[in-house]
Amino acid sequence: MPAYLGKVARLGREILLVDGRAGPGIFDDGSYGSPIIMCEAAERYARDKYVALFVNNSQSHHERLERNLAERGWLDHAIPILGDSTAFLTTLSLHLRDQTVFVYLDPFGLRGCEFETLRPFLTRPMSYSTEIVLNVSMPVTHRLAATNAVAEGRISNPRITRYHELLSEVFGGDYWKDIYWSDLTAEQKELALIAEYQRRISKYLPYTGSCPVRESRSSRVRYFITFASRHPDAMLLMNDTMCSAYYGQMHQKDYEGTLFAETDWRSPQSASELDAIILQKAKANPGLTRKDLWLTIVQEHFMRFTAKEYRNCIKGLMANRKLEPTRDPLTGRLNDTCKIYLPDGVQSKRDSARKSDSSSRRS
């Protein structure tokens, strides 16, 4: 939220923050929920530029959230709403103008993030800033797919039919059937489902990605945090955030209470792997800027490497004369706008420039 709000606050448009299943704001153990996290960031980075809409269908959650927002003096900009989130989002979509919109949905189960509910937000004009973040529960998808019941011939059971209709409504089609009724393992099914879901969302908001959430490396995925955005910077921001959060958490769980607890979660092997990817991409796409080259890597290898690792690898490849980027003409430094070439590519570029210059002088 800080990085996002700091960036979009400069657009000069009203920022609309929407949480469709907001909860009480503060949980029984004292930890902060999404409304408090969102408002704290908005008050710091976009004060007087935002409106936050927090929907609850629980009277007790609604009242607790209202008290928590009032105690912090945020009710001028943060509005708790008692009602059904799907109905609210449908109504809200009819009244959107050019606002910068951030929608967060963390439903209990899957109901509340149906594809048609999201469509008005997905199809907003590309000139408007739109971000969507969803938590998609994986155990629920298996229960609703009812694979065993289907195998037993109970597919026409009215309850099973309703389950299947809900899955199709949420994921925007019945393609999930070929995935979930196959011989793949449970996790392979989940990864395939989320990958296809992202592909369909990317037809509207082109930059998408997902982060699995699990207790440890050996445990099942509880849910995927999936995002969609129209802006490449969101892809790069989410890549770093999700990569650090996921692998940092897994490292902590693996080595908690051991001598390795304080070690870095980044694997030394990942640097050599990233080196190879950079060289392959630079060869296939000579002249991409450092930032655009990084974006192509993130899109193909989402949540595998961080921007810091990437920059360090670029420096190492330069030191070993495996890359020879252009430099900023004003500062002589390497930055995100500098173009990346393999050494032969740079030499060919320079030779072409000299030939062109020589021809001009002769003319």
Please, where are the H alpha helices in 46-185?
Answer: 59-71, 85-93, 115-122, 138-145, 147-151, 158-171, 176-180
Question: Which of these CATH numbers, 1.10.10.10, 3.40.50.2000, 3.40.50.150, 3.40.50.300, describes 268-349?
Answer: 1.10.10.10
pLDDT digits (tens, 9 = 90+) for 252-271: 777 677 766 667 666 665 78
Per-residue pLDDT tens over the stretch 337-363: 999 999 975 445 544 544 555 555 554
More confident residue, 267 or 13: 13
Domains 2-255 and 268-349 share a fold: no
Is the separation of the CB atoms in 225 and 133 below 8 Å? yes
* Residue whose C-alpha is closest to residue 131's, from 243, 206, 55, 48: 206
Assigned CATH topology for domain 2-255:
Rossmann fold (3.40.50)
Q: What is the pLDDT of residue 358?
A: 54
Cβ-proximal residues to 57 (8 Å cutoff; 6+ apart), any chain: 82, 83, 84, 85
pLDDT at 271: 81
pTM: 0.86
| Domain locations in the chain as residue ranges | 2-255, 268-349
Q: What is the pLDDT of residue 353?
A: 45
Q: What is the pLDDT of residue 350?
A: 47
Return d(Cα 196, Cα 202) in angstroms, integer. 10
Q: pLDDT tens for residues 93-125? A: 999 999 999 999 998 788 889 999 999 999 999
314-334 per-position pLDDT tens digit: 999 999 999 999 888 888 888
Whether residue 197 contacts residue 132, with contact meaning beta carbons closer than 8 Å, is answered with no
What would the mean pLDDT of 278-288 be, rounded to a whole number? 95
